């Protein structure tokens, strides 16, 4: 049966702040652990008032220290923003502190606007084009030191950090297949090339010392509530956030609005229908049908579920409902 995991952007709702969002992140991680989700990932975004996980490795340490068994990791680290050695040291340290529990998902997007990317990197010469080489360099730091190697990652060397390639296009699928690494596709916000990426990854996969056969994870928005109507209302917060972001007005996560989608202009509705086409929104039965259909359609090994819900209690309840539905499907399989 397809496994379930959690992607958390540490949303900052309107009227709240970063401290509360990070407290909510730890609370949700403990909740997910009790519900037996497989892993809990956090994402690197910068200059976004509604996302509190910019210092991703720091937040991962916070979550890992406050949980016991769930795997914790990055979904992902935007590697062009960093020197590979720095990330090897950060995640080597996390692995030393929390053995056997740390994942490192790597992406090649900046995770921000270009002005902020310049502020992060000071220059953009070593950008996305160097991503494959940076991935190989980073992974080498986790391996045993070579006789002629002068630069070593300490901590990092010899640590069991599981590396994933992330992507929202076919580029990441090709790289993950060539390197024989697990692959996570961002179908929760960029589903257009999902099926092409899945096919490329599975057909071109080359077994490696890291992985014997393809391991596919897909991002998925799931907003579950007691009724379809309630879930639709909760989902409007994410819809607003998407419209604001695509309009150049990123902000904190807005509260739900009745009939938000219906009141939008045609262009905004079309954008949401495309970007969020894989979202599952509804009560338990609607979620069950949607989850079953998505798994049947994709054959994903794992779903990385995200839920940008304004109210923290409602967000926790959404993951509860999903876990219950998933257990029912597993029993019926």
CATH number, domain 3-332: 3.20.20.30
The first and second tokens of residue 190, run together, are 């960029």
The model's pLDDT over 82-130, given as tens digits with 9 standing for 90+, comes to 999 999 999 999 999 999 999 999 999 765 666 766 776 655 555 556 8
Averaged pLDDT for residues 288-316: 98
Averaged pLDDT for residues 141-146: 90
Q: Please enumerate in sequence order all residues whose Cβ is within 8 A of that of 128, keeping only pairs 6 or more positions apart, or say none.
A: 80, 108, 109
55, 44 Cβ separation under 8 angstroms: no
- Phi, psi torsion values for 68, nearest 5 degrees: -125, -40
The mean of the pLDDT values for the chain is 94
The model's pLDDT over 225-265, given as tens digits with 9 standing for 90+, comes to 999 999 999 999 999 999 999 998 999 999 999 999 999 99
288: confidence class by pLDDT, cuts 50, 70, 90: very high
Residue 187 pLDDT greater than 90, yes or no: yes
Whole-structure pTM value = 0.95
- The candidate with the shortest Cα–Cα distance to 8, out of 276, 253, 298, 330, is 253
* pLDDT score at 307: 98
The first and second tokens of residue 212, run together, are 């014997």
* pLDDT score at 109: 78
* pLDDT score at 125: 59
What span, in angstroms and rounded, lies between the C-alpha atoms of 8 and 221? 11
What span, in angstroms and rounded, lies between the C-alpha atoms of 222 and 287? 8
- The candidate with the shortest Cα–Cα distance to 38, out of 303, 223, 281, is 303
* pLDDT score at 181: 98
Least confident residue range of 34-48, 112-126, 293-307: 112-126
148: confidence class by pLDDT, cuts 50, 70, 90: confident
Angle among Cα 34, 38, 40 to the nearest 5 degrees reads: 85
Report the b/e string of 11-20 with b at 16+ CB within 10 A: bbbeebeeee
Averaged pLDDT for residues 151-170: 95
- The candidate with the shortest Cα–Cα distance to 251, out of 8, 35, 15, is 15
Averaged pLDDT for residues 311-328: 98
Share of the chain above pLDDT 90, in %: 88
Domain extents for the chain? Answer: 3-332
């Amino acid at each position: 049966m397809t496994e379930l995991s959690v992607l958390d952007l540490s949303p900052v709702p309107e009227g709240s702040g970063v401290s509360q969002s990070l407290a909510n992140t730890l609370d949700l991680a403990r909740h997910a652990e009790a519900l037996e989700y497989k892993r809990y990932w956090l994402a690197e975004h910068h200059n976004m008032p509604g996302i509190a996980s910019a210092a991703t490795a720091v937040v991962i340490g916070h979550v890992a220290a406050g949980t016991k068994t769930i795997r914790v990791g990055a979904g992902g680290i935007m590697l062009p923003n960093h020197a590979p050695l720095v990330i090897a040291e950060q995640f080597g340290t996390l692995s030393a502190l929390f053995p056997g529990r740390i994942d490192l998902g790597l992406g090649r997007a900046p995770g921000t606007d270009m002005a902020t990317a310049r502020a992060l990197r000071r220059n953009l010469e070593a950008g996305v084009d160097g991503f494959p080489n940076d991935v190989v360099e980073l992974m080498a730091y986790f391996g045993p030191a070579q006789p002629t190697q002068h630069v070593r990652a300490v901590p990092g060397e010899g640590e069991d950090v599981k590396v994933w390639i992330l992507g929202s296009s076919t580029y990441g699928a090709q790289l993950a297949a060539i390197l024989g690494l697990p692959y996570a596709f961002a179908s929760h916000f960029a589903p257009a090339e999902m099926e092409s990426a899945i096919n490329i990854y599975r057909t071109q996969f080359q077994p490696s010392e890291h992985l014997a056969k393809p391991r596919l994870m897909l991002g998925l928005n799931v907003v579950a509530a007691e009724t379809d109507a309630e879930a639709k209302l909760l989902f409007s917060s994410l819809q607003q956030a998407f419209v604001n972001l695509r309009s150049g007005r990123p902000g904190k996560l807005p509260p739900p609005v009745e009939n938000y989608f219906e009141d939008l202009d045609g262009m905004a509705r079309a954008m949401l229908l495309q970007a969020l086409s894989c979202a599952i929104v509804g009560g338990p039965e609607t979620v069950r049908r949607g989850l079953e259909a998505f798994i049947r359609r994709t054959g994903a090994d794992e779903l990385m579920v995200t839920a940008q819900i304004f109210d923290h209690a409602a967000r926790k309840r959404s993951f509860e409902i999903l876990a219950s539905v998933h257990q029912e499907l597993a029993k019926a399989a």
